[in-house]
């Protein structure tokens, strides 16, 4: 960061850049969550007659940007499909925070989530960097979804003791809870 950028950032004229990684199994709602934040941060244009493009499974990853408060987020929206999870680890070094999206309605795969989560957290790059994690217990609008407390138990989140974490119930389709999670993460990122 050059001197002027640093100066302007301190004054709050230029937004500070942070980059975050969004992880979770396929079909948990990662891309829909990001789409919500992008919509919320862009200047409301005239209502377009065409509806936004449908969300399809992400292949590889997609790079998105949006502003929230005085932060400029660069988001790596990683594909959650099994064959692409190998890609995740290449992005750990440059990330300031993790967003982990859970499909709280998918009880069968909680064991898979648990395994993936712990393999991510035990990666060397993340062991050295104690970056914060926010979990979205997503799809709370579906009946029978696990509550955040149940997710904690199912995933053994209380074992995460070396970094700040928080879990928020959310619904990516109607936007509930999303801002609460992002606000927590933004607070964590501002501190440093």
Element (H, E) at 175: none
Annotated catalytic residue, options 81, 127, 128, 149: 81
20 vs 157 by CB, closer to other proteins: 157
In whole angstroms, the minimum distance from the beta carbon of 156 to other proteins comes to 9
Cβ atoms 182, 125 nearer than 8 A:
no
| 166 makes contact with other proteins (CB under 8 A) | yes
Q: Is 126 exposed, middle or buried (0-12, 13-18, 19+ CB in 10 A)?
A: buried
Q: How far is it, in rounded angstroms, from Cα 139 to Cα 32?
A: 11
C-alpha distances out from residue 71 to 54, 102, 111, 164, Å? 27, 25, 34, 19
Nearest to 52 by CA among 70, 32, 77: 32
Among 21, 168, 172, 182, binds other proteins (CB under 8 A): 168
Cβ atoms 101, 28 nearer than 8 A:
yes
81 vs 164 by CB, closer to other proteins: 164
In whole angstroms, the minimum distance from the beta carbon of 10 to other proteins comes to 13
Binding mask 141-160 toward other proteins (x if CB under 8 A, else -) reads ------xxx--xx---xxxx
In whole angstroms, the minimum distance from the beta carbon of 190 to other proteins comes to 8
| 163 makes contact with other proteins (CB under 8 A) | yes
Cβ atoms 62, 35 nearer than 8 A:
no
- Decide if 81 is catalytic: yes
In whole angstroms, the minimum distance from the beta carbon of 167 to other proteins comes to 5
Secondary structure class of 168 (helix, strand, coil): strand
**97 annotated as ligand-binding:** no
| 9 makes contact with other proteins (CB under 8 A) | no
Chain residues in the site for other proteins (CB under 8 A): 135, 147-149, 152-153, 157-168, 180, 183-184, 187, 190-191
Binding-site residues, please? 24-31, 58, 80, 138-141
What are the catalytic residues? 81
């Amino acid at each position: 960061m050059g001197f002027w950028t640093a100066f302007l950032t301190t004054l709050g004229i230029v937004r500070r850049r942070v980059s975050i990684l969004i992880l979770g199994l396929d079909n948990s709602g990662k891309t829909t969550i990001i789409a919500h934040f992008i919509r919320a941060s862009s200047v409301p244009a005239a209502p377009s007659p065409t509806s936004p493009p449908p969300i399809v499974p992400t292949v590889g990853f997609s790079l998105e940007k949006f502003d929230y408060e005085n932060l400029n987020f660069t988001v790596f929206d990683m594909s959650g499909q099994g064959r692409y999870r190998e890609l995740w680890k290449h992005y750990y070094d440059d990330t300031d925070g993790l967003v982990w999206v859970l499909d709280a309605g998918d009880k069968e795969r909680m064991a898979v989530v648990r395994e993936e989560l712990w393999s991510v957290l035990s990666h060397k790059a993340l062991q050295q960097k104690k970056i914060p994690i926010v979990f979205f217990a997503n799809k709370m609008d579906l009946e029978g979804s696990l509550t955040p407390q149940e997710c904690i138990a199912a995933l053994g989140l209380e074992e995460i003791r070396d970094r700040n974490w928080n879990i928020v119930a959310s619904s990516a389709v109607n936007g509930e809870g999303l801002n609460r999670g992002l606000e927590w993460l933004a607070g964590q990122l501002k501190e440093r």
